[in-house]
Amino acid sequence: MRIRRTLLAAARGLALAMVSLVGSITLTTLMLASLAWTVTGIGVVTTPIVLTWVRGFANFRRAWAHSWCGLTIPAGYRPLPEPPRPGLRGHGRRLTAMLRDPATWRELLWLWVDASAGFLLALLPLALLAYGLAGFVVPLVYGLSGGRVHLVSTGLVDLSRPGALVLLPVVGAALLALALVAAPSFVRAHFRLAAAFLTPPKTELAARVAHLAESRHDVVDASAAELRRIERDLHDGAQARLVAMGMTLSAVEALMDKDPAKARELLALTRQSSADALTELRDLVQGIHPPVLAERGLGDAVRALALRMPMSVEVGVELTGRTEAPVETAVYFAVSELLTNAAKHAGADRVRVTIRHAGGLLVAEVEDDGKGGAVLASDGLPGGDPDPDPGAPVWRGSGAGWAPSTGRWP
């Protein structure tokens, strides 16, 4: 069992050594050349590509570390903007985002270490086995040849000295014993060296965890608010209509014999109330997750929403593809709320909705020509109070209800 583990460690170490030497040196050379070409503009396009290869190479080694040694090496990459459009500006934004990511510089430094110390650590298990076996093979070949074979120094024992052939098997046995005991540890040490350079600092990981925890709380709060809205709509809408229908039917039952004409009139009202209740239930179900949003995407869902508005709504959509379903749902209801505010509070005649990708974000903008709502201001708070943070934008209300009809949802 121990021999099998040692041979497996030697084979894995040889694979690691070759990958470390060839991959790290190649990527380092490409990276240096690409950075040098940045002044000509070519590097602005090629450097993000090379950095993507570096990340793939690092993730490939992370997979080996987890598969071979059970060692998890976190990446901690920052989000990147959407794939760049043709032109240097889009590639330049992506390059800037990648160079500002600390993970990029950790990986570039790791490439140098991987091609040197990492290469030696990975090669040690095979070297111990090779030199250990040589300690027995060299004296055996020399003895079988009757001393006629010219011996080449192994680097461990000076074969020109008397007694060297006797000492060589002792050294070989010691090396084989060390290989049997420590060969898997050298492979693990190779990955621990990589982890020392590739793992983000604890402060950075703590900040990301805090951000995720805050986002989780926001999602939970939004879900709770949505459940309360559904409960309120059921209580104030469909449930109230159903209760009224029950009372009307009781009155119809009492009037069937006394006043059939009045009873028929009440039955007609009950039929209309049932149709209205069904419509409200359908709207409520669509409000939970509109079918058009799931089938045709955010752009068509907003266009369908605009057709139901009492004012003229112009919709412009510039999306490169579908976004995650929770994000699309959140943006849809945010736009729906803003359009409702524009219709109810702002008295708008024309509204323009723009949905696009910008800087790695999904941005939805709703603008109207109404009178009320909120405007974005950065020069102070209402009433002349100074803004505690002059650089941060604040919402400033105008009119009763303080219902913003223009907003931006990143």
Closest CA to 135 of 162, 167, 158: 167
Asked whether residue 278 falls in the same domain as residue 305, the answer is no
**Bigger pLDDT: 230 vs 34:** 34
Count of structural domains within the chain? 3
Asked whether residue 161 falls in the same domain as residue 18, the answer is yes
Asked whether residue 148 falls in the same domain as residue 219, the answer is no
User: Which of 245, 267, 288 lies at the terminal end of a domain, its last residue?
Assistant: 288
**Bigger pLDDT: 386 vs 229:** 229
What's residue 266's pLDDT? 80
Token pair for 63: 């997979």
Residue 205 predicted with pLDDT over 70:
no
Secondary structure of 242-281 in the HEC alphabet? HHHHHHHHHHHHHHCCCCHHHHHHHHHHHHHHHHHHHHHH
What's residue 136's pLDDT? 85
Q: Which domain holds residue 56?
A: 2-200
Collapse the DSSP code of 353 into the 3-class scheme (helix H, G, I; strand E, B; otherwise coil) and give the result: strand
Residue with tokens 């190479």: 57
CA distance 143 to 299: 84
Instruction: Provide Rg for the chain, Cα atoms.
Output: 36
Out of 139-148, 156-165, 260-269, 375-384, pick the least confident.
375-384
Dihedral (Cα; 101, 80, 363, 407), 10-degree rounding: -20
Query: pLDDT (tens digit, 9 = 90+) per residue, 110-165?
Result: 999 999 999 999 999 999 999 889 888 877 776 676 655 455 555 555 555 656 67
Closest CA to 293 of 304, 283, 284, 285: 304
Asked whether residue 245 falls in the same domain as residue 163, the answer is no
User: Which of 174, 200, 226 lies at the terminal end of a domain, its last residue?
Assistant: 200
List, in sequence order, every beta strand (DSSP E) within 236-381: 312-318, 350-358, 361-368, 373-377
What's residue 10's pLDDT? 93
Asked whether residue 263 falls in the same domain as residue 370, the answer is no
Asked whether residue 280 falls in the same domain as residue 295, the answer is no
User: Which of 244, 260, 288 lies at the terminal end of a domain, its last residue?
Assistant: 288
81-90, 134-143, 230-239: range with highest mean pLDDT: 134-143
Give the CA distances from residue 135 to residues 10, 121, 192, 267, 286, in Å, rounded to whole numbers and listed in that order.
18, 22, 31, 105, 79
Q: Which amino acid is at 253?
A: E
Asked whether residue 190 falls in the same domain as residue 226, the answer is no
What's residue 385's pLDDT? 43
Q: What is the model's pTM?
A: 0.52
Asked whether residue 307 falls in the same domain as residue 221, the answer is no
Residue 191's pLDDT band (cuts 50, 70, 90): very high
Asked whether residue 229 falls in the same domain as residue 301, the answer is no
Up-side HSE of residue 399: CA atoms within 13 Å toward CB? 16
Asked whether residue 82 falls in the same domain as residue 107, the answer is yes
Query: pLDDT (tens digit, 9 = 90+) per residue, 25-66?
Result: 999 999 999 989 988 888 888 999 999 999 999 999 999 999
Asked whether residue 39 falls in the same domain as residue 145, the answer is yes
What's residue 335's pLDDT? 87
Asked whether residue 220 falls in the same domain as residue 359, the answer is no
What's residue 204's pLDDT? 64
